[in-house]
Amino acid sequence: QSVLTQPPSASGTPGQRVTISCSGSNSNIGSNTVNWYQQLPGTAPKLLISSNDQRPSGVPDRFSGSKSGTSASLAISGLQSEDEADYYCAAWDDRLNGFCVFGTGTKVTVL
Amino acid sequence: QMQLQESGPGLVKPSETLSLTCGVSGYSISNAYHWGWVRQPPGKGLEWVGSVYHTGSTYYSPSLKSRVTISLDTSKNNFSLKLSSVTAADTAVYYCARVIHSSAWKLYYFDYWGQGILVTVSS
């Protein structure tokens, strides 16, 4: 059961900027770092952003992440056709013994 | 380059135990890191299952805790997932992954993933 809320869909034309939100609570986003994953159709998820705003080696700099309070955002600048994918946020939740929570996922469509 | 590969039965009967193994190449799992599992029901989002530290300590999803066991086999450099009393709701693609975890730095994320294996629960 997802406890991080994302919009189900987002879209833009090539070259546009698209932003995806991720809303959580004090026990997860409010207390821990946020990560983003990209899942291209039929493939395994890929780490896109870690620790709120860090891009792993090989991830284009048109992808950026930010966090404020209990919410986080992923921005895609200069949208490209190959960016059409599902995007998930995730964070650690401090409740109980601790567990990882994923967002509900956002489908990005390039028009 | 480290690689992970899931293996196991693609079909499990209801009420039985789902057993999967994740083989790791290019890195010794006994050295460090957590090693985890994530699943994705067909057409749905990602769900965290749990992870095991290289020392053997574990974290499990609260909703699966009573049925799940994740363990290491350092002699074979792999780790496994067992999920008991499965139902159709456990039908999913199961991914294994390496976990970066630090309580001090508030980190928990998956940096290397396997390709995934579809497990169907059906009689």
Query: How confident is the model over B73-83, as pLDDT tens digits?
Result: 999 999 999 99
Q: Is the pLDDT of residue A3 over 90?
A: no
Tokens representing B72? 């290491």
Residue B35 near residue B20, CB atoms below 8 Å: no
> What is the pLDDT at residue A63?
98
Calculate mean pLDDT across residues A86-111: 96
Q: Can you give the C-alpha Rg of chain B in angstroms?
A: 14
Q: Among B64, B111, B40, which residue's Cα sits nearest to residue A96?
A: B64
Q: Which of A39, A51, A103 sits opposite B107 (nearest CB)?
A: A51
Q: Which of A91, A96, A104 sits opposite B62 (nearest CB)?
A: A96
Pairwise CB contact (< 8 Å): B111 & A47: yes
Residue B6 near residue B116, CB atoms below 8 Å: yes
Reduced to 3 states (helix: H, G, I; strand: E, B; else coil), residue B85 is: coil
Q: Is the pLDDT of residue A2 over 80?
A: no
Q: What is the mean pLDDT of chain A?
A: 96
> What is the pLDDT at residue A110?
97
Contacts of B48 in chain A (CB under 8 A): 90, 99-102
Contacts of B61 in chain A (CB under 8 A): 99-100
Q: Is the pLDDT of residue A16 over 80?
A: yes
> What is the pLDDT at residue A11?
97
Pairwise CB contact (< 8 Å): B45 & A2: yes
B29 touches chain A (CB under 8 A): no
Residue B29 near residue B79, CB atoms below 8 Å: yes
Contacts of A1 in chain B (CB under 8 A): 47, 63
Contacts of A20 in chain B (CB under 8 A): none
B16 touches chain A (CB under 8 A): no
Percent of chain A past pLDDT 70, that is, above it, reads 98
Percent of chain A past pLDDT 90, that is, above it, reads 96
Q: Which residue of A has its CA nearest to B109?
A: A35
Q: Is the pLDDT of residue A1 over 70?
A: no
C-alpha distance from residue B3 to each of B29, B88, B98 (Å): 12, 30, 10
Contacts of B46 in chain A (CB under 8 A): 37, 39, 45, 88, 90, 102, 105
> What is the pLDDT at residue A17?
98
Query: A49-97, pLDDT tens digit by residue?
Result: 999 999 999 999 999 999 999 999 999 999 999 999 999 999 999 999 8
Which residues does chain B have with pLDDT short of 50? Answer: none
Pairwise CB contact (< 8 Å): B46 & A37: yes
Q: Is the Cα dihedral B105, B111, B112, B118 positive or negative?
A: positive
> What is the pLDDT at residue B55?
87
B95 touches chain A (CB under 8 A): yes
> What is the pLDDT at residue B14?
98
Reduced to 3 states (helix: H, G, I; strand: E, B; else coil), residue A3 is: coil
- Cα–chain-centroid distance for residue B55? 16
